[in-house]
């Protein structure tokens, strides 16, 4: 849809509900048609003094009067940019049907107000930080003792520290000491866009335009509760519908049968043994064992004990805080996810597991004839027949 | 339709309340091996199986991309695999398309479901509802089915006694089916006194929780001799989607089933199902559905389901001699179970259940609450 | 009998996709699907009455909806139609495209609409992907689709510095493409001068895989309409013909980490491409195709996979990127749409590849249209444990 003075034809219709003046529609029951060339047709129904419906229609029927105009004229008339009388006289607006009835619509709606000239980044920054204390909700800040530092770059940037303690909020234009969280934006404009919801945090982080240090969880979870959301003073002309989002955690308890093959592997772990199974055709060892060799499409039933020591062939250092799907709790990062070629295995017959956290730096990966770091499993005292019966692997010195 | 699709072989494990000693991979392997042995089919890129259709469900498996767990045991390593994430009967329709399109000569179609694995199948089917309205008010397939049951029973003169009769018959028939879930035999009185689940559906009116897996090998007409001497032909398929909100639907109009059946019949050249088809396998998740679907596929007069039962319609049209879904199949796999029974009957392998002179059979199955999505296939000897 | 000739030809006559975004709180799932469906119908100048069958696909557990086509019918338009639902993980979109192609070619339906969809903001994507692993053991270890193994592979072979630069060059080309595509989710306006800076500043996810190099998590839907040759010619001035497709899956777990040259691993992308090109008698795919819409979940994977798809030797794949031959205007433009790194509504993603490739062949891609003629297009899908689906599109019915 085309825009005229930054406004679309549908904006005019979509805001009719908010702009409706019941005092201007007393005793009126009628439908009005609008045929806006190239944009579509609408039908506005007033019933007994209330605005009953504003609907987009394929054809206009059952209306006391129908107005037709092009988009520019229509938007212009509704926003005061185009003189309505001139437009009508000049034939740019046509009305079919009961002209007098249509005339009444002028009193039924407030004028559509175009937002005033855009605010500058500097004005926004001043307004955003200027309203923080007034947006603070002390009742939500029980037991919070934290400082949130902002370091915004660019010509409109600056530094701020918002401190919350004893259910009080203060703001300073310096960053001192060791803030609980520090948010850095290379350009203050990105911060403004972020607060206005025009850009999301992940995009900024991905593009390297911002960073967050310290207790990020606190600012993600507590800040939105402690402070009222910033309201864009420019957003007033067209009130937005509140978008409700339903949040749910869904869980259905499961009991997974392990079967004779995976069950054997898990039972082995209980006894501090690692079992693979060997394909009768190609001889490869599957680890953990699987029912069938996918390559040869034959059942595999010969179990072989391998390891428990082996060498690292590959390691992923994971920095991304992944929530454990079984618990929902984010894993502590970084951690090392390793592929181990256990003794007795060859080629690609590796087993994935984790390396002891403090040994990530020391791991060397194997390659062709080059051996990787030798590792051994560290077993849990109490074992349940679970992959975590091996706590992790550690360097075998 | 100029060409027919051959069903060359089937294999299945027994329907059981719970396969506690096997994971679904084991169950599928038990079906995979007999198919390979019976047919000698290979996975050769030129002449063998290039594409496998599977049927399983992420929610019942509690596993994202549930077909990832079956790649090995359906032979899909370095071959194609496509998961029918809907009632299994549609997998047969899709297999038909794969072969008729010329893209594939041979299709292996395998499916599994372990309903016993989850805490409650009703929690699973509640998730099929929108999260905003139908879920919070507690709708699931069973509750929606109950609403349909009440309305249908009113419309078609189906009584508690009729439902009891259907349940007793289902269990009797299933006793002759070696792959059927082994259920206790019951009498009408016990059915009518069984606990009320969702009025008017009682415990024994509803199929029991079941684990099952199967495999079916299909191929194009030209190559059927390579795999079997006794093919059964798949000659028609049709499906249809009804509206979602039950308030938008006429719950006992059988809209989607009538459409699906007409489409399948048209493809197979069936003019009058009462004359042209000798056996019907209908997916009755609950007892009331047997006469209702019978109306939908055109073997009972509309609104006369009760009378149809009294007049011996179930025997006259050879409906659900396998025991039906009611005796126990996993929710999503009823259609494959129905088709496999048709295969046994049409190839003369139905043992004690065998009906003489069956030339044509129809299998039906539904997805969703109150049969929102329906599909029908036609098979011929 | 080898792969047969198609029973009848199938043309793509309509394409619709939503804007891909992480902010679609303004629509629920069926409403979002409805947007793509309406656009596709509009594009084909059809109404829902013309469609015989609807194919629906996405991954249930991302949004936790069981049998989602039941609820989604409010947006898919499937009421009263034949409809089936097929999924295969990340390749779902490509698989439903194959299915639609098969359904039309079979003669069973004249017009079929494939609908791919995902609303990733309504679940946790990485946890969702992790849930695909065997619950008995690997689910406790896996980190979604994140791995630095491709970065390790390429770096070990060509040196970390060159590898990093090629990866970022590819990433910035994709961003430049995305900036031309109004439907793209992430379009930053990056420039090649930022390569060194981004290598240093972009946060690491796993190993040398950086945040800037990984795909987005998007909400989005895509609908594509397929018609029989007769119908396509009647209804469309510029149908795009589906020549062939192939799906190749791989065993349940990744066993590619042995890193021992005595035990080479067959790669599914390479195998699929070889098979497809062989049976269609394409001897020099790099020259044959005019555009490639690749399912590129991360720039490292893209640069590595390029070699597999086109059987490139030595460092040819890296040179194609360094010389910007994969950019619009180059020898083989890849993802003029910005690709998966820019927009990734998973269940729709692989269908978007087919849709974008079709738009290029048709000459209807708008600002991201390749300026030179596009007669032959290739689209790929990726998912599961290295699964591949490839689809070949043609401008003329002359093969």
Report the CATH architecture of A3-108: 2-Layer Sandwich (3.30)
Q: Where in chain A are all domains bearing CATH 3.30.1050.10?
A: 3-108, 121-236
Q: How far apart are CA B254 and CA B152, in angstroms?
A: 10
Task: Please give the pLDDT value at position A115.
Answer: 61
C264 interface with A at CB cutoff 8 Å: no
C57 interface with B at CB cutoff 8 Å: yes
Q: What is the widest separation between alpha-carbon atoms in chain B?
A: 59
Q: Which ipTM was obtained for this model?
A: 0.97
Write the secondary structure of chain A as one string of H (helix), E (strand) and C (coil): CCEECCEEHHHHHHCHHHHECHHHCCCCCEEEEEEEECCEEEEEEEECCEEEEEEEECCCCCCCEEEEEEHHHHHHHHHCCCCHHHHHHCCCCEEEECHHHHHCHHHHECCCCCCCCCCCHHHHHHHHHHCHHHHECHHHCCCCCEEEEEEECCCCCEEEEEEEECCEEEEECCCCCCCCEEEEECCHHHHHHHHCCCCCHHHHHHCCCEEEEECHHHHHHCHHHHECCCCCHHHHCCCCCCCCCCCCCCCCCECCCCHHHHHHHHHHHHCCCEEEEECCCCCCEECCCCCEECCCCEECCEEEEECCCEEEEEEEEECCCCECCCCCCECCCCEEEEEEEECCCCCCCCEEEEECHHHHHHCCCCECCECCCEEEEEECCCCCCCHHHEEEEEECC
CA A396 vs CA A58, A62, A108, A363, A389: distances in Å: 76, 86, 83, 11, 18
Chain B contacts of A260, Cβ < 8 Å?
21-22, 26
Confirm if B373 and B87 have CB atoms less than 8 A apart.
yes
CATH number, span C10-126+219-235: 3.40.47.10
- Contact criterion met (CB < 8 Å) for B78 and C268: yes
pLDDT in tens, C271-292: 999 999 999 999 999 999 999 9
Fold: same for C10-126+219-235 and C144-211+242-394: yes
Which carries the bigger pLDDT value, residue A287 or residue C142? A287
Instruction: Mark the ranges of chain A whose per-residue pLDDT is less than 70.
Output: 1, 85-91, 114-117, 235-242, 323-328
Q: How far apart are CA A253 and CA A178, in angstroms?
A: 44
**CATH T-level topology, domain A121-236:** Nonspecific Lipid-transfer Protein; Chain A (3.30.1050)
pLDDT in tens, C114-139: 999 999 888 877 777 777 788 777 87
Please choose, from the candidates C22, B75, C226, the residue with its C-alpha nearest in 3D space to the C-alpha of residue A295.
B75
CA distance, residue B181 to nearest chain A CA (Å)? 19
- Nearest chain A residue (CA) to C259: A367
Task: Please give the pLDDT value at position B2.
Answer: 52
Number of CB atoms found within 10 A of residue A265's CB = 24
**CATH T-level topology, domain C144-211+242-394:** Peroxisomal Thiolase; Chain A, domain 1 (3.40.47)
Chain C contacts of B67, Cβ < 8 Å?
87-89, 384
Number of CB atoms found within 10 A of residue B220's CB = 20
Contacting C residues, span 174-233, partner chain A, CB-CB under 8 Å: 186, 188, 190, 197-198, 201-207, 211-212, 214, 216
Q: Which residue has the tokens 């659900």?
A: B320
Confirm if B263 and B328 have CB atoms less than 8 A apart.
no
Q: How far apart are CA C251 and CA B79, in angstroms?
A: 10
- Residue B244 has its nearest CB partner, among C70, C246, C250, at C70
Establish whether the linkage from the previous residue to A334 is cis, with ω within 30° of 0. yes
Alpha-carbon dihedral C157, C160, C166, C170, rounded to 10 degrees: 100
Please give chain B's pLDDT, 381 residues, in tens. Answer: 457 999 999 999 999 999 999 999 999 999 999 999 999 999 999 999 999 999 999 999 988 899 999 999 999 999 999 999 999 999 999 999 999 999 999 999 999 999 999 989 999 999 999 999 999 999 999 999 999 999 999 999 999 999 999 999 999 999 999 999 999 999 999 999 999 999 999 999 999 999 999 999 999 999 999 999 999 999 999 999 999 999 999 999 999 999 999 999 999 999 999 999 999 999 999 999 999 999 999 999 999 999 999 999 999 999 999 999 999 999 999 999 999 999 999 999 999 999 999 999 999 999 999 999 999 999 999
Chain C contacts of A208, Cβ < 8 Å?
197-198, 201-202, 212
Q: How far apart are CA B297 and CA A46, in angstroms?
A: 49
DSSP 8-state class, residue B14: P
Would you state the structure tokens that stand for residue C101, as one six-digit string?
Answer: 């192609």
Query: What is the Cα Rg of chain A in Å?
Result: 34
Q: Which helix (H) or strand (E) segment is B162 a member of?
A: helix B160-175
pLDDT in tens, C317-358: 999 999 999 999 999 999 999 999 999 999 999 999 999 999
What pLDDT band is residue C91 in, cutting at 50, 70 and 90? very high
- Nearest chain C residue (CA) to A348: C258
Residue C1 has pLDDT above 50, yes or no: no
pLDDT in tens, C182-226: 999 988 888 999 999 889 888 888 999 998 999 988 999 999 999
Write the secondary structure of chain C as one string of H (helix), E (strand) and C (coil): CCCCCCCCCEEEEEEEECCCECCCCCCCHHHHHHHHHHHHHHHHCCCHHHCCEEEEECCHHHHCCCCCHHHHHHHHCCECCEEEEEEECECHHHHHHHHHHHHHHCCCCCEEEEEEEEEHHHCCHHHHHHCCCCCCCHHHCCCCCCCCHHHHHHHHHHCHHHHHHHHHHHHHHHHHHHCCCCCCCCCCCCCHHHHHHHHHHCCEEECCEEHHHECCCCEEEEEEEEEEHHHHHHHCCCCEEEEEEEEEECCCCCCCCCCCCCCCCCCHHHHHHHHHHHHCCCCCHHHHCCEEECCCCEHHHHHHHHHHHHCCCCCHHHHHHHCCCCCCCCCCCECCCCHHHHCCCHHHHHHHHHHHHHHHHHCCCHHHCCCCCCCEEEEEEEECCCEEEEEEEECCCCC
Report the CATH architecture of B5-119+209-226: 3-Layer(aba) Sandwich (3.40)
Q: How far apart are CA C201 and CA C212, in angstroms?
A: 10
Task: Please give the pLDDT value at position A84.
Answer: 74
How many CB pairs below 8 Å do chains A and C form together? 137
Q: How far apart are CA B16 and CA A307, in angstroms?
A: 38
Domain boundaries, chain C: 10-126+219-235, 144-211+242-394
Chain A contacts of C139, Cβ < 8 Å?
325-326
Task: Please give the pLDDT value at position C261.
Answer: 86
Residue C21's beta-bridge partner residues? C219
Task: Please give the pLDDT value at position B87.
Answer: 97
Task: Please give the pLDDT value at position C160.
Answer: 95
pLDDT above 90 covers a percentage of chain C that reads 78
Chain C contacts of A370, Cβ < 8 Å?
none
- Contact criterion met (CB < 8 Å) for B25 and A290: yes
**Mean pLDDT (chain C, rounded):** 93
- Nearest chain A residue (CA) to C258: A348
């Amino acid at each position: 849809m085309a825009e005229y003075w930054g406004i679309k034809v549908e904006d005019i219709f979509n805001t009719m509900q908010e702009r409706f003046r019941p005092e201007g529609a007393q005793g009126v029951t009628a439908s009005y048609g609008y045929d806006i060339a190239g944009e579509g047709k609408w039908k506005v129904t007033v019933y007994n003094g209330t605005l009953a419906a504003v609907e987009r229609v394929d054809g206009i029927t059952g209306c006391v009067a129908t107005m037709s105009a092009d988009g520019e004229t229509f938007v212009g008339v509704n926003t005061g940019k185009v003189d309505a009388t001139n437009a009508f006289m000049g034939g740019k607006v046509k009305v079919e049907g009961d002209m007098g009835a249509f005339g009444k619509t002028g009193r039924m709606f407030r004028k559509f107000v175009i937002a005033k000239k855009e605010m500058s980044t500097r004005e926004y920054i001043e307004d955003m930080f200027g309203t923080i204390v007034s947006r603070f909700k002390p009742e939500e800040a029980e037991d919070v003792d934290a400082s949130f530092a902002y370091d915004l770059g660019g010509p409109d940037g600056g530094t701020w520290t918002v401190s919350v303690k004893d259910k009080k909020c203060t703001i300073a234009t310096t960053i001192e000491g060791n803030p609980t969280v520090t948010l850095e934006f290379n350009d203050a404009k990105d911060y403004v866009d972020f607060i206005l919801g025009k850009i999301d945090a992940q995009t900024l982080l991905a593009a390297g335009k911002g960073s967050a240090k310290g207790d990020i969880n606190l600012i993600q979870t507590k800040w939105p509760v402690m402070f009222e959301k910033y309201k864009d003073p420019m957003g007033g002309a067209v009130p937005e519908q509140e978008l409700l989002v339903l949040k749910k955690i869904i869980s259905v308890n499961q009991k997974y049968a392990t079967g004779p093959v995976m069950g054997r592997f898990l039972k082995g772990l209980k006894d501090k043994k690692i079992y693979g199974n060997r394909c009768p055709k190609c001889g490869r060892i599957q680890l953990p064992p699987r029912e069938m060799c996918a390559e040869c499409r034959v059942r595999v039933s010969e179990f072989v004990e391998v390891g428990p020591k082996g060498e690292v062939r590959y390691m992923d250092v994971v920095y991304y805080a992944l929530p454990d799907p079984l618990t929902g709790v984010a894993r502590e990062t970084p951690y090392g996810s390793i592929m181990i070629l256990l003794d007795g295995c060859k080629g690609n017959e590796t087993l994935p597991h984790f390396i002891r956290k403090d040994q990530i730096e020391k791991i060397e990966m194997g390659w062709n004839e080059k051996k990787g770091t030798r590792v051994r499993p560290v077993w849990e005292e109490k074992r349940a027949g679970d992959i975590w019966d091996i706590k992790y692997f550690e360097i075998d010195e | 339709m100029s060409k027919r699709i051959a069903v060359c072989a089937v294999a299945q494990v027994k329907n059981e309340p719970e396969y506690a000693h096997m994971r679904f991979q084991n169950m599928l392997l038990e079906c995979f091996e007999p198919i390979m042995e019976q047919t000698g089919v290979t996975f050769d890129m030129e002449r063998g199986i290039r594409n496998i259709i599977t049927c399983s469900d992420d929610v019942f498996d509690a596993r994202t991309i549930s077909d990832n767990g079956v790649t090995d045991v359906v032979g899909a390593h370095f071959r194609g695999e496509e998961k029918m994430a809907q009632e299994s009967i549609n997998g047969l329709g899709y297999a038909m398309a794969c072969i008729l399109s010329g893209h594939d000569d041979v299709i292996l179609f395998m499916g599994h479901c372990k309903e016993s694995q989850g805490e409650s199948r009703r929690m699973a089917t509640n998730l099929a509802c929108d999260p905003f309205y139908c879920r919070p008010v507690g709708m699931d397939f069973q509750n929606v089915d109950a609403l349909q049951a009440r309305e249908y029973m009113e419309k078609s003169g189906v009584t508690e006694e009729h439902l009891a009769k259907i349940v007793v018959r289902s269990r009797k028939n299933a006793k002759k089916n070696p792959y059927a879930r082994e259920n206790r035999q019951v009498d009408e009185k016990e059915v009518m006194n069984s606990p009320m689940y969702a009025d008017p559906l009682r415990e024994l009116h509803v199929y029991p929780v079941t684990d099952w897996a199967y495999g079916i090998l299909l191929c194009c007409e030209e190559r059927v001799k390579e795999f079997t001497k006794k093919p059964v032909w798949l000659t028609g398929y049709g499906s249809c989607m009804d509206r979602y909100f039950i308030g938008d639907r006429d719950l006992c109009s059988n809209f989607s089933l009538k459409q699906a059946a007409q489409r399948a019949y048209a493809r197979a050249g069936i003019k009058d199902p009462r004359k042209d088809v000798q056996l019907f396998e209908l997916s009755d998740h609950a007892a009331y559905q047997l006469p209702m679907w019978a109306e939908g596929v055109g073997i009972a007069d509309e609104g006369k389901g009760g009378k149809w039962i009294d007049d011996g319609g179930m025997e006259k049209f050879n409906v659900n001699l396998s025991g039906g879904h009611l005796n126990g199949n996993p929710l999503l796999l009823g259609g494959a179970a129905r088709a496999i029974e048709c295969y046994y009957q049409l190839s003369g392998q139905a043992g004690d259940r065998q009906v003489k002179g069956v030339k044509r059979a129809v299998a039906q199955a539904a997805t969703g609450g109150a049969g929102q999505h329906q599909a029908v296939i036609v098979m011929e000897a | 009998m080898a792969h047969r000739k198609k029973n009848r030809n199938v043309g793509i006559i309509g394409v619709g996709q939503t804007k891909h975004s992480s902010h679609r709180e303004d629509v629920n799932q069926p409403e979002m699907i409805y947007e793509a469906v309406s656009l596709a119908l509009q594009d084909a100048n059809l109404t829902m009455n013309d469609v015989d069958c609807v194919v629906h696909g996405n991954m249930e557990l991302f949004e936790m909806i069981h049998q989602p086509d039941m609820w989604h019918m409010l947006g898919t338009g499937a009421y009263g139609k034949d409809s089936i639902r097929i999924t295969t993980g990340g390749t779902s979109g490509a698989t439903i495209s194959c299915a639609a192609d098969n359904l039309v070619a079979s003669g069973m339906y004249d017009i079929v609409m494939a609908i791919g969809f995902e609303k990733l903001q309504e679940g946790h994507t990485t946890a969702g992907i992790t849930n695909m692993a065997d619950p008995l053991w690997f689910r406790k270890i896996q980190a979604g689709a994140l791995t630095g193994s491709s970065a390790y592979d390429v770096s070990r072979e060509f040196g970390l510095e060159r590898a990093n630069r090629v990866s970022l060059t590819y990433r910035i080309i994709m961003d430049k493409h995305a900036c031309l595509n109004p439907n793209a989710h992430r379009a930053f306006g990056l420039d090649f001068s930022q390569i060194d800076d981004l290598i240093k500043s972009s946060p690491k996810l796993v190993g040398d895989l950086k945040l800037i190099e990984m795909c987005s998590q998007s909400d989005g839907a895509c609908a594509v309409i397929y018609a029989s040759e007769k119908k396509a010619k009647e209804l469309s001035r510029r149908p795009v013909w589906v020549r062939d497709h192939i799906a190749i899956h791989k065993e349940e777990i990744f066993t590619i980490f042995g890193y021992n040259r005595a035990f080479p691993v067959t790669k599914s992308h390479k195998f699929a491409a070889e098979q497809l090109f062989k049976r269609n008698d394409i001897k020099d795919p790099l020259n044959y195709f005019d555009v490639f819409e690749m399912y590129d979940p991360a720039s490292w994977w893209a640069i590595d996979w390029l070699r597999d798809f086109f059987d490139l030797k030595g460092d040819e794949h890296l040179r194609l990127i360094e010389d910007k031959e994969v950019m619009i205007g180059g020898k083989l433009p890849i993802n003029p749409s910005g690709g998966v790194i820019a927009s990734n509504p998973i269940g729709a993603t692989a269908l978007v590849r087919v849709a974008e490739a079709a738009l290029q062949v048709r000459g209807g891609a708008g600002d991201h249209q390749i300026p030179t003629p596009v007669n032959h297009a290739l689209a790929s899908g990726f998912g599961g444990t290295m699964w591949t689906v490839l689809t070949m599109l043609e401008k003329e019915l002359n093969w």
